[in-house]
Amino acid sequence: MTTNPDFYRTLKVSKTFQVISAHDISNIVTQLANYIEKNSSMDDLSVRILLPREAGSGSRAQKWGLSLRSGLILALKRKRIRPSLREVRYVHDDRHYGWILIDPRLFDNLRV
């Protein structure tokens, strides 16, 4: 695993979701759960979630990330899906925090 943020910024993922406001979270959780359900058998399952990064919004982004994560776990549990995903959190750019959910086998093959 690399700690180089440029590696994660440029990593090709199959889908990207962007959280703009707190109202987006439930919609994104639903979209993510449906996407994972449809693609959980794929060996290259990877998604990126972008959370806002502004001066003083660290705690807001953290709360939204926790809300999104707990909502996703609950949605997948309701669908009886147990995907094997690895999480990577990083600073995507000046405006976003990034969160990647990726199949561990794919991630292990991405050594830099």
Tokens of 59: 């705690």
Q: Give ∠ CA 45-92-44 in degrees, rounded to 5.
A: 10
Render pLDDT for 49-79 as a digit per residue (tens, 0 to 9). Answer: 999 987 765 688 889 989 999 999 999 999 9
Give me the CATH code for the 5-108 domain, please: 3.30.110
For the chain, domain boundaries: 5-108
Render pLDDT for 13-33 as a digit per residue (tens, 0 to 9). Answer: 999 999 999 899 999 999 999
The predicted pLDDT at position 41 comes to 74
* β-pair partners for 41: none
